[in-house]
Amino acid sequence: MALQSFIMRQVLSFLLIILFFTFSCTKLKSVQEVSENSDSLKVSSDRIVNTITETLNPIAKEAVSEWKEYKNVDDFILKYYNISTTDALYHANELSGLVTLMKDSIRVDLLKGKSIKARFNVLQNETLRLADMSTINSITNKEIKDEVDKIVEVYSAVNSKINTIYKAEELQNSLEIDTETPSLNIKQQNLPKRRGIISREPVNPERIQKQKTLEQRKLGKPVISIPKKTKQ
């Protein structure tokens, strides 16, 4: 009886050991599968994420508020700040079409200069390049991501240039001076007097003669009148 009890205890201990190792192996395998799946997601991820960079300042935004073609691009391009490579190619033709309409319909006179047009042209070329990628079967996710990053960067440069133009315009307006009615009638008494300089009135011969006549009369001397010069 004691022998049977001992054998049973040994068998139970052995079974417990087997169950423990079986459970440990199963758990380790599950952890490895989860890790492999996570790594697989990282490798196969096709998301393109960009931070929103330059946006229009209030003055520039107000100036282009009636320019619907710019507004359409500004709204649509928000998709490309967080988008999959598949969707980036899927919407590429629509994006390039909107950018082309914006470039060909500049409605603000201040934005018709060569410098800003050059940036519109660069943006159009990049969106057309992305549209061409949608027809290439061998294109890689990295190539798509690099092109989308470039489009976002160029669009930010467009907004930066527009902001610069309106900041310069605002500065110019603040420095303008009305030169049509300059104030030239400055009164002499409003000017600061220099030390050591005594202002003298212009010599008036008639006034001097009157003073001499009064003095001569007071002293009882005969008054000698000086004939006035006649104008010839």
Average of pLDDT values for 116-131?
A: 96
Answering whether pTM is above 0.85, one says no
Q: What is the pLDDT of residue 170?
A: 87
Specify the pLDDT at position 46. 83
Query: What mean pLDDT comes out for the span 114-138?
Result: 95
- Each residue's pLDDT tens digit, 25-64: 555 455 455 445 544 434 346 899 998 789 999 999 999 9
Rg (CA), the chain: 46
Q: Can you tell me the distance from the alpha carbon of 132 to that of 139, in angstroms, rounded to the nearest whole number?
A: 10
Confidence grade of residue 228 (pLDDT, cut at 50, 70, 90): low
- Does 232 or 92 have the greater pLDDT score? 92
Domain boundaries, the chain: 57-171
Residues 149-154, mean pLDDT to the nearest whole number: 96
For the chain, the average pLDDT equals 78
Instruction: For 57-171, give the CATH class.
Output: mainly alpha
208: helix, strand or coil? helix
Percent of the chain with pLDDT over 70: 58
Q: Is 60 exposed, middle or buried (0-12, 13-18, 19+ CB in 10 A)?
A: buried
In this predicted structure, which of 134-143, 159-168, 221-230 has the lowest mean pLDDT? 221-230
What's the pLDDT band for 229 if we cut at 50, 70, 90? low
The whole-number pLDDT of residue 141 equals 94
Which pLDDT does position 53 carry in this prediction? 83
End-to-end CA distance of the chain, in Å? 168
pLDDT single digits (tens) 66-100:
999 999 999 999 999 999 999 999 999 999 999 99
Query: Residue 122 is encoded by which pair of tokens?
Result: 């660069």
Q: What are the DSSP E strand ranges found in the chain?
A: 47-49, 82-84
Residue 205 pLDDT greater than 70, yes or no: no
Q: Sorting pLDDT into bands at 50, 70 and 90, what band is 171?
A: confident
